[in-house]
Amino acid sequence: MSFVNYHTKEINCKIVYYGPGLGGKTTNIQYVYQKVSGDQKGQIISLNTENERTLFFDFLPLDLGEIRGFRTRFHLYTVPGQVFYEASRKLILRGVDGIIFVADSQVEKMEANLESLAGLEKNLAEQGYDIKTVPLVMQWNKQDLPNTSSEEELQKQLNKWNFPAYSACARTGQGVFESLKMVSKMVLMNLKGGLSTSPFV
Ligand SMILES: Nc1nc2c(ncn2[C@@H]2O[C@H](COP(=O)(O)OP(=O)(O)OP(=O)(O)O)[C@@H](O)[C@H]2O)c(=O)[nH]1
Ligand SMILES: [Mg+2]
């Protein structure tokens, strides 16, 4: 739930990058961190295993300045994608405002994508959220690799709700800000009072 404080004129929103292990969630927020200017970002915090897999989460606070008189901050989180970290994913999803589902476009990863998406739907339902109504953007990542599913196939298998979707290569940054801009716009439009200007546009 976005935290809008009318007294101090602050808005805090939580965006979670969700998806299967090694799909590119951490790479997304590392790219954002590299590109956002110093005064807009806090430290990136990563809790990793020794081989660079996310152990608990990555966290990047972004300060977007004022939107209609409200000091606006976005807190970006990634979940650990490895199957056995389900409890961590549930915890990180608490109070989420917007989600970027980072799918791995490689053909052999379709099962892992489907499993992760089913987990997301279930974890949201446990919080009382219906996935259909949550601001969510699909990201078809790793499109630079050979042997990827077509966008049409990804769309058919993973996006029956017809969320906005972007092809991406998080390593080079393709699609990274497009996804973030769209989800931020959806989150702000969802806020009471309809603050409809995306801070990234
Ligand atoms: N070729 C290619 N490699 C990518 C892309 N995005 C990420 N990678 C690579 O994929 C590997 C895993 O990326 P991460 O960002 O750590 O994946 P993750 O989703 O955070 O993984 P977990 O933390 O285990 O859930 C790294 O070696 C990245 O450099 C991409 O678009 N193309
Ligand atoms: Mg990670």
Could you tell me if residue 60 is left (phi over 0), alpha (psi between -120 and 50 degrees) or otherwise beta? Answer: beta
Whether the CA torsion 73, 176, 132, 19 is positive or negative: it is negative
Place of tokens 């404080």: 5
Q: Is the pLDDT of residue 16 over 80?
A: yes
Could you tell me if residue 65 is left (phi over 0), alpha (psi between -120 and 50 degrees) or otherwise beta? Answer: left
Q: Is the pLDDT of residue 119 over 80?
A: yes
Cα–ligand 1 centroid distance for 24 (angstroms):
3
Q: What pTM, to 2 d.p., does this model score?
A: 0.94
Which pLDDT score, from 0 to 100, does residue 67 have?
A: 83
Please work out, in degrees rounded to the nearest 5, the angle formed at the alpha carbon of residue 163 by the alpha carbons of 172 and 22: 40
Give pLDDT tens digits for 156-184: 999 999 999 999 999 999 999 999 999 99
Give pLDDT tens digits for 72-96: 999 999 999 999 899 999 999 999 9
Measured from the Cα of 102, ligand 1's closest atom is 19
Residues having CB within 6 Å of any atom of ligand 1: 19, 21-27, 53-54, 78, 80-82, 141-142, 144-145, 169-171
The SS3 of residue 159 is coil
